[in-house]
Amino acid sequence: MKYQKYTERALALGAADAVEFTISDICFDSRTLLKCMFGCPDWGRSHTCPSRPGSPTMEQYREMLSRYSGGIIIHTHDKSLSQKISFAIEGDAYRDGFYFAFSLSDCALCRECAAVKNEPCRNPHTARPAFHSVGIDVYKTVHALGLPLRTLADAEREEQNWYSAVFIE
């Protein structure tokens, strides 16, 4: 296992699951943009949102991410923890010489994103785009790796699953 060190670290930091992936395990599907545009209450309200001016297109993200050989996927039940762990793993991998290590995690750094008031990002060095917002079909990807994820009938009462990915090269 090429990235076992990072999966073990993610679990030690509180992840419910952490698994390695190869780039061929990542399922890209541009239809994720439809769900962002017409299903996300934060559409256009976050600096990490694909709707923001200057954001790479999904095709550009796919090309960039396809240059990685793999990495790890992190599963938690808490959005903030998911981001904290993925950013820690990105830092560990970077310090280990994987200078292109990059995490994707739904941003939970601020209670309200500065983009709402058209202000600059308060955390430009740590804010990252969501796993799904770059064109990745999270459901298909994690199911193929044996991880749990299903649509929720009542998000307020049912346990949520949050996923992050750290691309390592």
Residues 135, 80: Cα–Cα separation, whole Å:
21
Rounded (10°) angle between helices 4-12 and 79-95: 140
pLDDT tens, 20-36? Answer: 999 999 999 989 888 88
Residue 122 CA neighbour count, 13 Å, CB half: 12
Q: What is the largest CA-CA distance in the chain?
A: 45
Is pLDDT at 120 greater than 90 in this prediction? Answer: no
Dihedral, 109, 27, 101, 35 alpha carbons, nearest 10: -20
162 against 156, higher pLDDT: 162
128 against 22, higher pLDDT: 22
Cβ-Cβ contacts under 8 Å for 84 (sequence gap 6 or more): 13
Task: State the pairing for strand pair 162-168/102-104.
Answer: antiparallel
Q: Is residue 147 within 8 Å of 17, Cβ to Cβ?
A: yes
Structure confidence at residue 83 (pLDDT): 92
Burial per residue of 111-121, b for 16 or more beta-carbon CB atoms within 10 angstroms, e otherwise: eebbbeeeeeb
pLDDT tens, 80-112? Answer: 999 999 999 999 999 999 999 999 998 787 788
Residues 4, 10: Cα–Cα separation, whole Å:
10
